[in-house]
Amino acid sequence: MAVSGRRGFSWRAIVNFRTVVALSCVLLMGWFTAAVALDRKEVFLPGESSVGHYLIEASCASCHEGFKPVSNDTCMRCHEAEMAEDVHGQKKFRDPRWAAELAKLEVLTCTTCHSEHIHMFDRGVHLQPDLCMTCHQGIIEGDLTSHDGFTPDGCWTAGCHNYHDHRSISTGFLRQNLDQPPMLPVQAMPTIEVETQLDEAPEPDLSKEFLGGAA
Amino acid sequence: MISFFSQLFSEAGFWQARRFSGRLFQRILALVMAVGLTLGLAVPPALADGVTQEQLDTITAQWEGSLHALNDVNCASCHQDSETKSFVAVPNQESCRTCHEQSVDTFLLGKHGIRTLEGESALTPALARLPMHEAAFEKSMSCNTCHDVHTVNTLQASTDSCMTCHNDTHTNNYFNSKHAELFEADRDLPRPSNASVSCATCHLPRHTIEIGGNEVVKVNHNNTYNLKPRDRMVADVCMNCHGVEYSYNSIFDDELVTANFDKPPHLELETFDLIRALEKRRSDNGDGE
């Protein structure tokens, strides 16, 4: 009431579109600065992180170098072991028979298929279930009698195929091991060889340091 | 999106509170100091002011019977900085890595170690999405969280250590399994034998790798490596003892996984019907093996 009684003052002069936009920008800037200053970088996450990465989701620099796209090198820094036997790797597409397939989908770039911060189908990093169809659609449409009419999103979600490493799931492997009994004749994990250099323990070389605290 | 906006408002609110209320800032500072002081007092004497003679005697006796002692790994090997010769009360994974490079490097790539590798605070069970025991929430993951570094008895690390934090049905059903029965036979050994099945047998499995041209068996401490896709665990672990069909029918049966394999699988994967049909076609066509 007091405000409206004052002459020559109008709220509309202040609260117009321009000030709202300017104020929003200032607030947003303040919010981002606060998030960085308080080390609460998770506010920048655009969506739920995958089960494999959520523990380091606030460590942006683990995967992102500024605003550049995530590179294969970044992924391989941790996932080298998983990719050691990649059947859809560089070697395959150097072969002229398959080289042209790369034009359909740039599968040598991890992020072509794997997306983070967006939930699709969970397997470590999120993955679109029917990606195989880009090249292998014929398989479910008559090229392979046994797979006729299979759903386009089942290849790997059903657990039958492993895109990168199919050593233990390929047709050859399953044929070779078919009809094995539930328990194999020899049941043993590898044995760890342990060696010792001395017959008995030497004299302990520290003692008072532990009693007196840091020396 | 909801969490995104709630984050937005909580951040903005906190920022304004810090900026505009000096008194609140003072209170927060006082609280931080009080918490810091309490933590300082609560630190066990082993970390702050050294151990008692009695504790030291116990630890020395444990060490004397250990593989460390019999390989001439003495107190100073871990508790003294190799360059400055200064005393190190609590050595970290870098100290272990001096000798156990493969173990530490693989540990750092799994969920247990990845935060440490990326320069974040070490993993605590409180941060996990899986159910964990509340009493263990603040345990910080490093080598000696699971390993008794003075006895070097890895039996404890292979199962008991897991149980102190993990509190999901798969973990808690372990003792109903045949695997656990086999493990009980190893109870008095310093290391699990190659015939028993502990948590580590499947989740931190022994693998054969090449080091310096020699094939050696090491423990893969990357606990995430063989979880997905599941066929990785089948070949790496299950098929050391079980046939391929039994393994796949077990590991793709979610109920059986939850029950921790307390009975044989009843799942019959269609994959094997397809393979059998293929075999039949091949032999009918006369090109069978």
Across the interface, whether the CB atoms of A124 and B240 are under 8 A apart is answered no
Phi/psi for B285 (5° steps) reads -80, 0
Position A62 scores a pLDDT of 95
Residue A60 has pLDDT above 60, yes or no: yes
Asked if B288 reaches chain A (Cβ–Cβ under 8 Å), the answer is: no
Mutate to test the interface with B, among A29, A32, A55, A113 (most CBs of B within 10 A): A55
CA distance, residue B58 to nearest chain A CA (Å): 12
The secondary structure element, H or E, covering residue B232 is helix B231-236
Position B20 scores a pLDDT of 41
Position A126 scores a pLDDT of 75
Name the residue facing B70 among A169, A201, A204 (closest C-beta).
Answer: A201
Across the interface, whether the CB atoms of B79 and A210 are under 8 A apart is answered yes
- The residue of chain A nearest to residue B4, with distances taken between CA atoms, is A43
Question: Looking at residue A64, what DSSP letter applies?
Answer: -
User: Could you tell me the sign of the dihedral formed by the alpha carbons of B16, B20, B24, B25, in that order?
Assistant: positive
Name the residue facing B228 among A124, A180, A187 (closest C-beta).
Answer: A124
Q: What is the mean pLDDT of chain A?
A: 87
Question: Looking at residue B242, what DSSP letter applies?
Answer: B
The secondary structure element, H or E, covering residue B40 is helix B22-42
Position B6 scores a pLDDT of 44
Residue A144 has pLDDT above 90, yes or no: yes
pLDDT in tens, A168-181: 999 999 999 999 99
Backbone dihedral region of B261: left (phi > 0), alpha (psi from -120 to 50 degrees) or beta? left
Give CA–CA dist A123/A50, Å, rounded: 8
**Domain for residue B186, yes or no?**
no
Position B26 scores a pLDDT of 59
Residues of B in contact with A205 (CB under 8 A): 74-76
- The residue of chain A nearest to residue B232, with distances taken between CA atoms, is A168
Residue A16 has pLDDT above 90, yes or no: no
Give CA–CA dist A131/A112, Å, rounded: 10
User: Residue B248 is part of which domain span?
Assistant: 226-289
Residues of B in contact with A165 (CB under 8 A): 232
Residues 70 to 99 of A: which have CB under 8 A from any B CB? 78, 81-82
Taking 3-state DSSP, the helix, strand and coil percentages for chain B, each rounded to the nearest 5, stand at 55, 5, 35
Query: In 10 A of CB B42, how many CB atoms?
Result: 8
Tell me the mean pLDDT in the region A181-185. 97
Position B51 scores a pLDDT of 87
**Domain for residue B152, yes or no?**
no
Across the interface, whether the CB atoms of B240 and A177 are under 8 A apart is answered no
Across the interface, whether the CB atoms of B127 and A58 are under 8 A apart is answered no
CB B215 within 8 A of CB B209: yes
**Domain for residue B199, yes or no?**
no
Residue A83 has pLDDT above 60, yes or no: yes
- Tokens (6 digits) for B103: 């173990």
Across the interface, whether the CB atoms of A206 and B201 are under 8 A apart is answered no
**Domain for residue B277, yes or no?**
yes
**Domain for residue B230, yes or no?**
yes
Tell me the mean pLDDT in the region A48-67. 91
CB B8 within 8 A of CB A30: no
| Ranges in chain B, pLDDT < 50 | 1-21, 36-48, 288-289
Name the residue facing A204 among B48, B60, B218 (closest C-beta).
Answer: B60
Q: Output the DSSP codes for B97-160.
A: HTT-HHHHHHHHHSHHHHHHHTTSPPP-GGG-SS-B-GGGTT---SHHHHS-TTT--HHIIIII
Query: In 10 A of CB A3, how many CB atoms?
Result: 8
- The residue of chain A nearest to residue B19, with distances taken between CA atoms, is A34
Taking 3-state DSSP, the helix, strand and coil percentages for chain A, each rounded to the nearest 5, stand at 40, 5, 55
Asked if B53 reaches chain A (Cβ–Cβ under 8 Å), the answer is: yes
Alpha helices in chain A (DSSP H): 2-5, 11-14, 17-37, 72-79, 90-94, 96-99, 110-113, 133-136, 171-177, 208-212
Q: How many domains in chain B?
A: 1
**Omega prior to B229 cis, within 30 of 0:** yes
Residues whose CB falls within 8 Å of the CB of residue A96, separated by 6 or more in sequence, listed in order? none
The beta strand positions in B121-279, using DSSP E, are 206-211, 214-219
**Domain for residue B267, yes or no?**
yes
Asked if B218 reaches chain A (Cβ–Cβ under 8 Å), the answer is: yes
**Domain for residue B3, yes or no?**
no
- The residue of chain A nearest to residue B123, with distances taken between CA atoms, is A55
**Polymer length of chain B:** 289
Position A8 scores a pLDDT of 65
**Domain for residue B22, yes or no?**
no
